[in-house]
Amino acid sequence: MSAVLADFPVLTPVTDEDLGLAALAVRVHIPEPWPHGLLCRSERVPYPCRLARWGHATREAAGLTEQQADAMKEAAR
């Protein structure tokens, strides 16, 4: 059974805890090529999955640039 689910809400203001979780979501839920298209490596659903979308939206709501987000991902490792 397939269901379309709404995205997770992005709460504002964005807290440091939210940013840490967003960094983890963006790092873990990455695209992986399959013969029928890109799937989330973690969930095996079409990329971007709900958590990847939430992570990117949270990062954008916090006003982080792509470079700052990459630095944040490296620091989270």
Compute the distance between CA of residue 12 and CA of residue 66 in angstroms, rounded to an integer: 19
Compute the distance between CA of residue 31 and CA of residue 66 in angstroms, rounded to an integer: 17
Q: By the 8 A CB rule, do 11 and 18 touch?
A: yes
Query: What local confidence, expressed as pLDDT, does residue 4 receive?
Result: 60
- Average pLDDT along the chain, 77 residues, taken 10 residues at a time: 73 92 92 96 96 94 82 66
Task: Note the pLDDT tens digit of each residue in 66-77.
Answer: 777 777 666 666
pTM listed for this prediction:
0.81
Joined tokens for residue 33 = 């090529």
Give Cα 43 to chain centroid, integer Å. Answer: 12
